[in-house]
Amino acid sequence: MDSGRLGETLLPKRVALPIFCSDPLSSVAYATEEILLILALGGLAVLHLAWYAAVGIVILLLVVVASYRQTCYAYPGGGGAYVVSAENLGQPAALTAASALLIDYVMTVAVSVVSGVAAITSAVPSLDGHAVAMSVFFVAVLAWMNLRGVRESGRWFAVPTYAFIAVIYLMFAVAAVRMATGATIRAESAELPVHAVSTYSGIALVFLALRAFASGCTALTGVEAVSNGVPAFAKPKSRNAAMTLAIMGGLSVTMFFGITVLAMVYEVHVAEDPTELGLAPGTPMSTALAQIGRATFGDWHILFYVLQAVTAGVLILAANTAFNGFPMLASVLGRDRYAPRQLFHRGDRLVYSNGIVLLALAAIVLIVAFDAQLTRLIQLYILGVFVSFTLSQAGMVKHWRRELATPAGAADRHNIHRRLAINAFGACLTAVVLVIVLITKFTHGAWLVVIAMPVLYAGMKGVRRHYDAVAAEVAVGPGERPQALAGNHVLVLVASVNAPSLRALSYAKTLRPASLTAVTVAEDPAEAEVLRASWEAHGIDVPLRVLSSPYRSIVQPVLRHVREVPERTEGAVISVVIPEYVVGHWWEQPLHNQSALRLKTRLLFMKNVVVIDVPYRLASARELAAERAKAARAAQDAEKQA
């Protein structure tokens, strides 16, 4: 896609919702289960605390949504935690937020895909042993879909997301009708005993409740993605982004609380270890949502399988939130020279292709390392989210205070004070939750994130130092001009008298060198004599120098000769011309140019040496070039007709 068509990729609200909000919308599928899993450690007597945890999460979600709506208006150019922190809190805070977000985006892909696979295995238990392979496959498919372009992937993701929302509300409606007509609905696990692993009371009980609340806060993941992606919205950008965020908040709150209510009414019991429910070790366990769906729909089995299908779909596609957020943040970091510059540029389809591929590879490594076990991965989740939440909202507080000090801000004091209050409350609340999450999850795996964040922070600082050092090293002073060289001595590497060698010699003559020599490396004196005879027979007017190689090395004799060129003078340059085959098929590449590759790698580190490749296209390369040219002409014709 041409850069001028970037405007065509802007998103209306109906497409932006599944692209940016699939993560927070889908997380309601397992947030309730995470609360119940923790409370199950205390036995049946403490499961009622799920009500309090759910209410706390609902309040927190509403506050965070309200806070980020202010960010959408204040930063229409994309107000992610990195940008907000950089402008208001300084670069250390910005890099802390960036490191937290990058880790969280990788976790989002891993957790979303693995939880989606868990929904599939709940419906088809025989697939449980293939969870890792299925997860890796789905990550690869998601990466490929995103590489096709934002708008295209949005169309694909819209159906599962809206289908999930529709089926969840259908489940609520069926449950309400059945209970209103006197039906008693119980989950399949309601009769299973919940054995406490320990006795919880006093401080221990409070700690267990806080840990359950922290686990349930997975419902808030991905909320920031909308404020990150404001530039991707159709005009008016800020208004559409804020409206999309409000819609997402309303849907997430009602779905999460509704699922929690049904889980409590149906007496859903879950446990990390099946033996805690009196089951045999290794017994496959249905997710909480699967139990709710099976109990609600009863004999309507088709609706249960529809629920599982759309849940798996939306959970897997929830990773798309990260596939939009990670590359965009990596691009901003690349622009600011805190990440490799390759991450800054858009690909052929106007998406940040390098960031998408990097995210997919990191998520696959994580999935394989943790054997696609959701209960292990989920412990690493959330911490990064609340670090970025807290820094972003604290930055917004400073932003509004600065706005109040301007004449324009003083004229709109009422609205600014309201926004300041919202962000201040959000910053305080998310800071408290951050402390809770850190304390309750630290020993259960969150310590890995605590270590990874400073490592990533140091890595970004190191990248910036490198770019700054290079910029300083290559900078030129005012008035500096190109200096004339003392001479250009050209060496053309040849192996035999053939078309590529003659082409390289012809090119070398156009350089008008101070000296021109053909160089060959001979392992056998007989081979050297054959080459000399052929050289003279063709009447080539370039002197040929044969380098002896008793140890059968090609690279070392050439390097030694380059260092000892007799014509070399101070300030002169030696140009080494290397003829290379260009092939049209990937499987042909390992069959050619390996010596040239090794030689170029060594020559590049030598002072005042220039390496020049002279390509010679073989028939397969010429055919490929013709096909590409034909395809390009067809594409241009189609574009003209459109």
Consecutive H or E run containing 492: strand 488-493
Q: Is the pLDDT of residue 262 over 90?
A: yes
- Average pLDDT (515-544) is 91
Q: Is the pLDDT of residue 152 over 60?
A: no
pLDDT, tens digit, for every residue of 377-424? Answer: 766 777 788 888 899 899 999 988 888 888 766 667 888 888 889 899
In a domain, 576, yes or no: yes
pLDDT score for 250: 93
Q: Which residues contact 572 (CB under 8 A, 6 or more apart)?
A: 485, 486, 487, 488, 489, 514, 608
- Find the range with the poorest average confidence among 300-314, 405-419, 481-495, 615-629: 405-419
Of 198, 277, 363, the closest CA to residue 36 belongs to 277
In a domain, 320, yes or no: yes
Whole-angstrom CA distances from 308 to 36, 69, 115, 263, 441 are 20, 32, 12, 16, 29
Whole-angstrom CA distances from 589 to 127, 159, 495, 561, 599 are 40, 43, 19, 28, 16
Whole-angstrom CA distances from 351 to 22, 71, 325, 347, 362 are 19, 24, 11, 5, 18
The number of helix segments (H) and strand segments (E) in the chain equals: 24, 5
Give the CATH number of the domain where residue 220 resides.
Answer: 1.20.1740.10
pLDDT score for 13: 80
64 and 194 housed in the same domain: yes
Q: Give the Cα separation of 299 and 288 in Å (integer).
A: 18
What are the structure tokens assigned to 450, written together? 């605590």
Q: Exposed (0-12), middle (13-18) or buried (19+): which is 313, by Cβ within 10 Å?
A: buried
Residue scoring higher pLDDT (367 or 404): 367
Q: For residue 576, which phi and psi values (nearest 5 degrees)?
A: -100, 115
In a domain, 469, yes or no: no
For 409-461, give the DSSP string.
HHHTHHHHHHHHHHHHHHHHHHHHHHHHHHHHHGGGTTHHHHHHHHHHHHHHH
Q: Give the Cα separation of 227 and 78 in Å (integer).
A: 6
- Find the range with the poorest average confidence among 223-227, 302-306, 405-409: 405-409
Q: Is the pLDDT of residue 236 over 60?
A: yes
For 582-622, give the DSSP string.
E-SSGGGGGGS-HHHHHHHHHHTTSTTEEEEEEEEE-HHHH
Of 257, 322, 278, the closest CA to residue 110 belongs to 322
Q: Give the Cα separation of 161 and 29 in Å (integer).
A: 12
Alpha helices in 299-373 (DSSP H): 301-317, 319-335, 353-369
In a domain, 476, yes or no: no
Cβ–Cβ under 8 Å, residues 382 and 182: no
pLDDT, tens digit, for every residue of 592-602? Answer: 868 888 899 89
Among 424, 445, 461, identify where a domain stops. 461
Please state at what angle helix 91-123 crosses helix 319-335, rounded to 10 degrees: 160
For 189-210, give the DSSP string.
TTTS----SS---THHHHHHHH
115 and 209 housed in the same domain: yes
pLDDT score for 577: 95
- Average pLDDT (531-558) is 90
Q: Give the Cα separation of 509 and 518 in Å (integer).
A: 11
Residue scoring higher pLDDT (593 or 170): 170
Q: Give the Cα separation of 608 and 614 in Å (integer).
A: 20
Q: Give the Cα separation of 138 and 521 in Å (integer).
A: 51
In a domain, 491, yes or no: yes
For 83-95, give the DSSP string.
HHHHHHT-HHHHH
pLDDT, tens digit, for every residue of 104-135? Answer: 888 888 888 888 888 788 777 778 778 889 99
What are the structure tokens assigned to 202, written together? 């006093």
- Find the range with the poorest average confidence among 157-171, 248-262, 337-351, 530-544: 337-351
Average pLDDT, rounded, for the chain: 85
Q: Give the Cα separation of 592 and 578 in Å (integer).
A: 13
Q: Is the pLDDT of residue 300 over 90?
A: no
Q: Is the pLDDT of residue 440 over 90?
A: no
Task: Determine the residue type at 326.
Answer: F
> pTM for this one?
0.75
Q: What is the dihedral of CA 572, 576, 577, 578, to 10 degrees?
A: -170
How many domains does one find in the chain?
Answer: 2
- Tokens 């990440």, located at residue: 339
Consecutive H or E run containing 520: strand 515-522
Using H for helix, E for strand and C for coil, what is the string for 208-234? HHHHHHHHHHHHHCCCCHHHHCHHHEC
Residue 567 — pLDDT band, cuts 50, 70, 90?
A: low
457 and 492 housed in the same domain: no
pLDDT score for 506: 95
- Find the range with the poorest average confidence among 52-66, 150-164, 276-290, 434-448: 276-290
Residue 613 structural domain: 487-637
pLDDT score for 120: 81
102 and 239 housed in the same domain: yes
372 and 232 housed in the same domain: yes
Give the CATH number of the domain where residue 534 resides.
Answer: 3.40.50
Whole-angstrom CA distances from 344 to 324, 453, 459 are 14, 21, 17
In a domain, 473, yes or no: no
451 and 515 housed in the same domain: no
Among 444, 461, 478, identify where a domain stops. 461
90 and 206 housed in the same domain: yes
- Tokens 């003209």, located at residue: 640
pLDDT score for 79: 59
Q: Give the Cα separation of 382 and 439 in Å (integer).
A: 12
Q: Which residues contact 53 (CB under 8 A, 6 or more apart)?
A: 35, 39, 209, 212, 213, 216
319 and 284 housed in the same domain: yes
What are the structure tokens assigned to 439, written together? 């304390």
Cβ–Cβ under 8 Å, residues 244 and 226: yes
506 and 438 housed in the same domain: no
Residue 520 — pLDDT band, cuts 50, 70, 90?
A: very high
Considering all CA atoms of the chain, what is the largest pairwise distance in Å, rounded to the nearest integer? 105
49 and 127 housed in the same domain: yes
In a domain, 472, yes or no: no
pLDDT, tens digit, for every residue of 174-183? Answer: 999 999 988 8
Among 461, 476, 507, identify where a domain stops. 461
pLDDT score for 326: 86
445 and 491 housed in the same domain: no
In a domain, 475, yes or no: no
Q: Which residues contact 319 (CB under 8 A, 6 or more apart)?
A: 23, 108, 109, 112, 113, 139, 142, 363
End-to-end alpha carbon distance in the chain: 14
453 and 535 housed in the same domain: no
pLDDT, tens digit, for every residue of 466-504? Answer: 999 998 988 888 878 887 777 889 999 998 899 999 999
